[in-house]
């Protein structure tokens, strides 16, 4: 197969060749990844100084894709020293935390990625809520988050809240004393290091000696603490390039930035602010439609379609569904539209803000984020054996490992990662046993006459893992009314359900985006009037999701809002087809 040579646009060329600091704004499909590869091709040849280049981004998926491309083109050796390709989190861990530790503690720090999930109980037997529901500095309960976890502080006594807050504070203090840090702790510790003037000066000399250029991709995913670190790198005299699309900022929950990102942009000189316009991914109708999903003040500018799909005539499809729940008819119609367009359903996901809605649209009716242990067990088994997503089998094995550790009584006081780190458990230590359990628990309609029969089998198999003197297997694996649905669901063949966050940075020939009854009206209000402003993040999620599509963009919306959405998209002159689902 012949590979077409990359011919950069003038804007792409000026980014590739730009030597100093830069703030680069780019629209969806503008070729950011390709430009990073070309910048690497140009700069990695220059070995005179012995210094490295660092390429940073915010998701493992983005980093894996960049590494794959750099290695494919033989631009990066393995190991890549003196260069660095990794997430912003691993970068700050490796260069700010691992060598310097935690101020006031002598113990070596350890990263615990699921720290925020640590269960906090006011007293044994009380309702458990995640540590993330407590402010990490003051320890005060965060009412909105706690409410989302089914614990409404408004209905609790002040005494009980104080008890919870005290337990949460003690919990964090204990972790800190053991050198165990979650991602948000990492930012706080880095801040402390950088406010230590002599230490910060030494560190800036060391990092400037190691790196001559640091490129931060997907910078719209920064939080304010990350921006402070970027500014520190610039002050350290390291050439720093920031690439972003502010309209794709969808990490408000981790303190995402929008205003701070614009302030960062404004701190770069005029000649350092570069743009990449032109969309190499999507057809003309999609380029127009996605403009309609930006904040109202930014809807006029429509990106020019420049890629292979530019002249594809496929319309935007708006599917109107009835009722308050997301129906399976969405998945069926999407599959039909894909086949008509000669696109493979396996390449084209159904996405929504929460995986639950996307799952319903393809006929998987059980909430995959359920906290019920029996459902988690069944979902791990089902997803291990169906294994549609690349990572699904690995995640199913971890979910099963976690359940076994819970049965064995190891996770009462610890999160899964804390236990695995503390015991130094390697995947090869536990995977054989977990694999065996997953294989044995495969749901087989020929022998498992019902979900209850399967559960009885599961209880027998897992009883030997029970901690002595602890709860019984019947208490640990209670019957759940939705259990049968895990095994009897008949998903639309070969369609996959994903969250919008998980498809960021990716592209697909077609995509179906689900808007739910809960948000559709206020989201369309926001798109048409700018009100209510709290829907801005939901609008950006729609923008990210829709802009993944190359040819077929389908949006499923409650019937009462369908015409409004179609009319709003049509205002951009995009061609829209409305279909009422029956």
Ligand X SMILES: Nc1ncnc2c1ncn2[C@@H]1O[C@H](COP(=O)(O)OP(=O)(O)OP(=O)(O)O)[C@@H](O)[C@H]1O
Distance CA 341, CA 379 (A): 33
DSSP string, 296-329: GGG-S--PPB-STTTT--PPEEEEEE-SSSPPTH
Q: Is 139 annotated as a binding residue?
A: no
Residue 349 neighbours by CB distance under 10 Å = 27
When binding is defined by CB under 6 A, the residue of 136, 187, 241, 281 that contacts ligand X is 281
Residue closest to ligand X (Cβ): 31
Beta carbon of residue 517, minimum distance to ligand X (angstroms, whole number): 28
Q: Is 198 annotated as a binding residue?
A: no
Q: Is 360 annotated as a binding residue?
A: no
Rule CB under 6 A: is residue 24 a binding residue for ligand X? no
Beta carbon of residue 502, minimum distance to ligand X (angstroms, whole number): 13
Strands 119-120 and 129-130: antiparallel
Q: Residue 393 is encoded by which pair of tokens? A: 């089998």
Task: Kindly state the DSSP code that residue 268 receives in the 8-state scheme.
Answer: S
When binding is defined by CB under 6 A, the residue of 15, 16, 21, 31 that contacts ligand X is 31
Beta carbon of residue 53, minimum distance to ligand X (angstroms, whole number): 18
> Where in 65-104 is the site for ligand X (CB under 6 A)?
none
Q: Is 101 annotated as a binding residue?
A: no
Q: Are 118 and 134 contacting, i.e. CB atoms less than 8 angstroms apart?
A: no
Rule CB under 6 A: is residue 241 a binding residue for ligand X? no
Distance CA 473, CA 452 (A): 14
**Which of 444, 556, 454 is closest to 497 using CA atoms?**
556
When binding is defined by CB under 6 A, the residue of 1, 3, 7, 19 that contacts ligand X is 7
Q: Residue 487 is encoded by which pair of tokens? A: 């095994």
**Which of 287, 318, 293 is closest to 537 using CA atoms?**
293
Residue 324: exposure state from Cβ atoms within 10 A (0-12, 13-18, ≥19):
exposed
Beta carbon of residue 539, minimum distance to ligand X (angstroms, whole number): 16
Task: Kindly state the DSSP code that residue 18 receives in the 8-state scheme.
Answer: -
Q: Are 196 and 220 contacting, i.e. CB atoms less than 8 angstroms apart?
A: no
Distance CA 577, CA 254 (A): 37
Distance CA 553, CA 332 (A): 15
Rule CB under 6 A: is residue 502 a binding residue for ligand X? no
Beta carbon of residue 350, minimum distance to ligand X (angstroms, whole number): 19
Rule CB under 6 A: is residue 8 a binding residue for ligand X? yes
**Which of 116, 167, 115 is closest to 422 using CA atoms?**
115
* Residue number, 353 or 547, with CB nearest to ligand X: 547
Rule CB under 6 A: is residue 280 a binding residue for ligand X? yes
Strands 497-499 and 239-244: unpaired
Distance CA 321, CA 562 (A): 8
* Residue number, 93 or 280, with CB nearest to ligand X: 280
Binding pattern for the stretch 284-313 against ligand X, x by CB under 6 A and - elsewhere: -----------------------x------
Residue 479 neighbours by CB distance under 10 Å = 11
Q: Cα dihedral sign for 184, 186, 187, 189?
A: positive
Rule CB under 6 A: is residue 224 a binding residue for ligand X? no
Q: Are 323 and 582 contacting, i.e. CB atoms less than 8 angstroms apart?
A: no
Q: Are 89 and 186 contacting, i.e. CB atoms less than 8 angstroms apart?
A: yes
When binding is defined by CB under 6 A, the residue of 15, 22, 28, 56 that contacts ligand X is 28
Beta carbon of residue 341, minimum distance to ligand X (angstroms, whole number): 19
Rule CB under 6 A: is residue 33 a binding residue for ligand X? yes
Q: Is 33 annotated as a binding residue?
A: yes
Interface stretch with ligand X, choices 21-29, 81-89, 313-321, 404-412 (CB under 6 A):
21-29
* Residue number, 224 or 307, with CB nearest to ligand X: 307
When binding is defined by CB under 6 A, the residue of 14, 18, 34, 121 that contacts ligand X is 34
Q: Is 126 annotated as a binding residue?
A: no
Rule CB under 6 A: is residue 355 a binding residue for ligand X? no
Beta carbon of residue 500, minimum distance to ligand X (angstroms, whole number): 13
Beta carbon of residue 335, minimum distance to ligand X (angstroms, whole number): 24
* Residue number, 32 or 568, with CB nearest to ligand X: 32
Q: Is 30 annotated as a binding residue?
A: yes
Beta carbon of residue 31, minimum distance to ligand X (angstroms, whole number): 3
Rule CB under 6 A: is residue 349 a binding residue for ligand X? no
Rule CB under 6 A: is residue 509 a binding residue for ligand X? no
Binding pattern for the stretch 521-550 against ligand X, x by CB under 6 A and - elsewhere: --------------------------x---
Q: Are 101 and 179 contacting, i.e. CB atoms less than 8 angstroms apart?
A: yes
Q: Is 331 annotated as a binding residue?
A: no
- Residues lying near ligand X in the complex (CB under 6 A) are found at 6-9, 12, 26, 28-34, 245, 280-281, 307, 505, 507, 547
Q: Which parts are annotated binding residues for ATP?
A: 26-33
């Amino acid at each position: 197969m012949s590979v077409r040579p990359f011919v950069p646009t003038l804007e792409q060329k000026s980014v590739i060749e730009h030597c100093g600091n830069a703030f680069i704004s780019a629209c969806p499909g503008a070729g950011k990844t390709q430009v990073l590869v070309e910048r690497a091709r140009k700069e990695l040849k220059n070995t005179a100084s012995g210094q490295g280049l660092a390429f940073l981004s915010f998701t493992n998926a983005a980093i894996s894709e960049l590494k794959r491309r750099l290695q494919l083109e033989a631009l990066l050796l393995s190991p890549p020293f003196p260069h660095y390709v990794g997430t912003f989190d691993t970068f700050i861990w490796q260069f700010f935390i691992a060598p310097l530790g935690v101020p006031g503690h002598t113990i070596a720090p350890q990263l615990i990625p699921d720290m925020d999930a640590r269960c906090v109980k006011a007293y044994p037997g009380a309702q458990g809520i995640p540590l993330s529901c407590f402010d990490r500095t003051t320890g005060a309960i965060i009412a909105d988050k706690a409410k989302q976890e089914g614990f409404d502080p408004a209905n609790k006594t002040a005494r009980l809240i104080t008890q919870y807050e005290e337990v949460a504070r003690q919990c964090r203090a204990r972790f800190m004393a053991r050198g165990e840090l979650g991602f948000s702790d990492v930012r706080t510790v880095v801040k402390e290091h950088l406010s230590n003037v002599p230490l910060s000066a030494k560190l800036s000399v060391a990092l400037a000696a190691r790196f001559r250029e640091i490129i931060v991709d997907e910078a719209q995913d920064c939080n304010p603490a990350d921006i402070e670190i970027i500014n520190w790198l610039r002050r350290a005299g390291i050439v720093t390039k920031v690439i972003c699309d502010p309209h794709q900022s969808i990490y408000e929950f981790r303190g995402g930035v929008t205003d701070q990102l614009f302030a960062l942009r404004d701190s770069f000189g005029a000649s350092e602010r570069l743009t990449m316009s032109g969309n190499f991914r999507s057809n003309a109708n999609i380029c127009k439609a996605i403009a309609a999903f930006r904040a109202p003040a930014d809807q006029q500018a429509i990106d020019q379609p420049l890629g292979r799909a530019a002249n594809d005539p496929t319309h935007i499809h708006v599917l109107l569904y009835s009722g308050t729940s997301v129906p399976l008819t969405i998945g069926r119609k999407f599959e039909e539209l894909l086949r008509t367009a000669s696109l493979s359903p396996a390449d084209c996901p159904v996405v929504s803000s929460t995986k639950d809605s996307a799952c319903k649209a393809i006929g998987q009716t059980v909430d995959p984020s359920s906290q019920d242990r029996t459902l988690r067990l069944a979902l791990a088994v089902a997803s291990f054996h169906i294994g549609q997503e690349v990572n699904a089998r690995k995640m199913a094995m971890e979910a099963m490992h976690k359940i076994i550790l819970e049965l064995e009584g190891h996770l009462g006081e610890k999160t899964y990662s804390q236990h695995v780190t503390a015991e130094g458990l390697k995947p090869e230590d536990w995977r054989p046993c977990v694999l065996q359990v997953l294989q044995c628990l495969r749901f087989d309609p020929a022998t498992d006459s019902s979900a209850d029969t399967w559960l009885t089998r599961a209880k027998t198999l897992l009883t030997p893992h029970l901690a002595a003197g602890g709860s019984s297997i019947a208490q640990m694996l209670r019957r759940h009314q939705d259990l049968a649905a895990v095994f009897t669901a008949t998903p639309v063949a070969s369609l996959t359900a994903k969250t919008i966050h998980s498809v960021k940075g990716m592209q697909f020939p077609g995509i179906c985006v689900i808007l739910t009854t809960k948000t559709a009206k206020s989201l369309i209000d926001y798109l048409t009037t700018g009100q209510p402003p709290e829907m801005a993040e939901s609008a950006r999620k729609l923008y990210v999701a829709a802009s993944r599509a190359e040819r077929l963009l389908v949006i499923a919306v409650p019937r009462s809002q369908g015409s409004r959405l179609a009319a709003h998209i049509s205002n951009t002159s995009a061609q829209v087809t409305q279909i009422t689902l029956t």
